[in-house]
Chains A and B, each alone.
Chain A
Amino acid sequence: DAKTTQPPSMDCAEGRAANLPCNHSTISGNEYVYWYRQIHSQGPQYIIHGLKNNETNEMASLIITEDRKSSTLILPHATLRDTAVYYCIVRVRDDKIIFGKGTRLHILP
């Protein structure tokens, strides 16, 4: 099963871009990269997913390296409401998602 590695915590100034890295060096060719976030005490929220092309939606951008061994989630203009734990997940089986410990992102005013 592919696993992910994320820094335990990061800081970002409000209004700046937040870049959250994730390593997934053992990812298989047909496995997607997903990002979720969990704001304090709430259920996780889906952000974005991708296979090998860069993806963008209204919340964030996902940059996946050409070898697919790592990716970066970009929040273009971070606000205080983006303070949360961000989970990078590689789909390991057809019907399961395995969460790690994620990155705790602090947005500084």
Chain B
Amino acid sequence: NAGVTQTPKFRVLKTGQSMTLLCAQDMNHEYMYWYRQDPGMGLRLIHYSVGEGTTAKGEVPDGYNVSRLKKQNFLLGLESAAPSQTSVYFCASSYFQVVAYNEQFFGPGTRLTVL
């Protein structure tokens, strides 16, 4: 049981390049999330998904797109990378949410630098 995995772990892009970050979970979770974390800051929600084929915007969605074609995978895309997108990206997943219980399981992070 690998939990939540993220690919790649590190990446350096030039301004204007595109890339896709892959998040995979083997816990059969319904919900998946993408966060970014800048130095000295808490995590900010980019996009999330409440099930296969669904996506929704979080706090800071601009410049990113996502897709959830399979339940176990959640992809984060940068179509035209900008230096402001230099950050650490965390993926998380959680069980279907009943009234309140919402333990999120996080991946190890992807460190992205845009030059």
Interface residues, chain A, CB within 8 Å of chain B? 30-32, 34, 36, 41-46, 49, 51, 87, 91, 94-102
Contact = CB atoms under 8 A, between A and B. Distances in A.
A49 B100 contact: yes
Interface string B72-90: 0000000000000000101
Nearest to A36: B104
Given A95-B48, A96-B58, A101-B42, A51 B100 contact: yes
B106 interface: yes
Summarize B's interface: helix, strand, loop or mixed. Answer: loop
Contacts of A49: 100-103
Interface string B35-53: 1000011111100101000
Contacts of B45: 96-98
A36 B102 CA distance: 11
A75 B96 CA distance: 29
B58 A42 contact: no
B34 interface: no
Contacts of A42: 106, 108-109
Interface residues of B, number: 29
A96 B59 CA distance: 10
Q: Is the interface of A mostly helix, strand, loop or mixed?
A: loop
Given A34-B102, A49-B103, A96-B48, 18 more contacts: A30-B100, A32-B102, A41-B109, A43-B90, A43-B107, A43-B108, A43-B109, A44-B90, A46-B103, A46-B104, A94-B97, A96-B58, A98-B45, A99-B42, A99-B43, A100-B42, A101-B40, A101-B41
Contacts of B58: 96
Pick the most buried of B35, B90, B104: most chain A CB atoms within 10 A of its CB. B104
A31 B108 CA distance: 28
A95 B44 contact: no
A13 B50 CA distance: 42
Contacts of A30: 99-100
